[in-house]
Amino acid sequence: MKKVAILQSNYIPWKGYFDLMQQVDVFVIYDEVQYTKNDWRNRNLIKSKNGLEWLTIPVKQEKLSQRIDETVVSTTNWNKKHWNTLLANYSKAPYFHEYSANFKHLYENTDLTNLSSINRAFINLIVDLLGIKTQLLDSKELNLSGDKNERLIQAVKQIGGNHYISGPSAKDYLDVSKFNADNIEVSWVNYEGYKSYPQLHEPFEHRVSILDLLFNTGPLSMNYITER
């Protein structure tokens, strides 16, 4: 059985994103869809001594129908600001210095202006650090067409998959009967039951960027993603 997941890119995603990724054989990053403001595409949460704090990439939204892969940044210094914020809040985390060189280099040397490309660069680095072996594909390689369900079914079939694992938010529109008609099994990822881990500041919060888990637990990070 070949398992496939299809999801939009997020900026430094939370651990659930990588949980879904590690459960499948092929993970398709699908940014040929509408950019949604105040979502996870260009921002994520970190822990600070003052509570949760947003790291947001400022972007231009010139039309409502603008796709994620058409979205570009609106300033030139967001990356250095983000790195300085991470440095201020995580420099005392147990494994920060084990990973800091990787992220410092990416933050301070990126000249990317396309949001999808930025997100993919960070996702690629995090996947390498976590040791996830799942194949990553860009949806543009698949030349998808049709409605929401048809595009997903096409993607799974082109990849040779027969089991589609979806995030729970897709229950609002996913027509499972259409997948089943093409001999594709559908199941839903479960984001419940993650174990707590040592964080620098209380109270504990699950829904923060994966960077929080990496900086606090280092090589044990995958245990807190896969073990329930």
Domain range for residue 212?
A: 3-226
Taking CA 206 as the corner, what is the angle to CA 131 and CA 152, rounded to the nearest 5 degrees?
A: 60
Residue 7 has pLDDT above 90, yes or no: yes
**pLDDT confidence band for 228 (50 / 70 / 90):** confident
Cα–Cα distance between 190 and 194 in angstroms, integer? 10
Ordered alpha helix ranges (H), the chain? 15-22, 78-90, 96-109, 115-130, 148-159, 176-181, 210-217, 221-226
Number of domains in the chain: 1
Partnered with residue 72 across adjacent β-strands are: 114
Query: Could you tell me the two tokens for 113?
Result: 């202006």
Is the full-model pTM beyond 0.85? yes
pLDDT in tens, 93-148: 999 999 999 999 999 999 999 999 999 999 999 999 999 999 999 999 999 999 99
For residue 178, the model assigns a pLDDT of 97
Which residues, other chains included, contact 168 with Cβ-Cβ below 8 Å and sequence gap of 6+? 188, 189, 191
For residue 172, the model assigns a pLDDT of 87
Which residues, other chains included, contact 191 with Cβ-Cβ below 8 Å and sequence gap of 6+? 16, 19, 168
For residue 81, the model assigns a pLDDT of 97
pLDDT in tens, 52-73: 999 999 999 999 999 999 999 9
pLDDT in tens, 148-187: 999 999 999 999 999 999 999 888 889 999 999 999 999 9
Query: Could you tell me the two tokens for 121?
Result: 């660069």
